[in-house]
Amino acid sequence: STVAPYVLMGLNYHGVGPKAILNRDVCPLTLPAASLHAIPYGHGFDFDPTSNINTGDLVRIRLHEGIVNVDIIERSE
């Protein structure tokens, strides 16, 4: 949807925007919006990177040699 960049901007403005965005594929509208708001954007995964992440988990996202690594640091209770 072409509304995605505006929604992202509104969420950030109110302090409830995402810390990072993980997608299997690139969203051509969300990627530039994330870039404008300095939100890390990981994409190009062969699997759903969010399938093992639960609400409240502490997650680290790293880029190493062009590969995005997603590590769960601490599980929520």
Domain segments of the chain: what residues? 4-74
User: Hey, which residues does 22 pair with through a beta bridge?
Assistant: 42
- pTM of the complete model: 0.81
64: phi then psi, degrees, rounded to nearest 5: -135, 115
- Give SS3 for 70: strand
Does residue 55 contact residue 36 with C-beta atoms inside 8 Å?
A: no
pLDDT tens-place string over residues 14-42: 999 999 999 988 888 889 889 988 999 99
Return mean pLDDT, the chain: 90
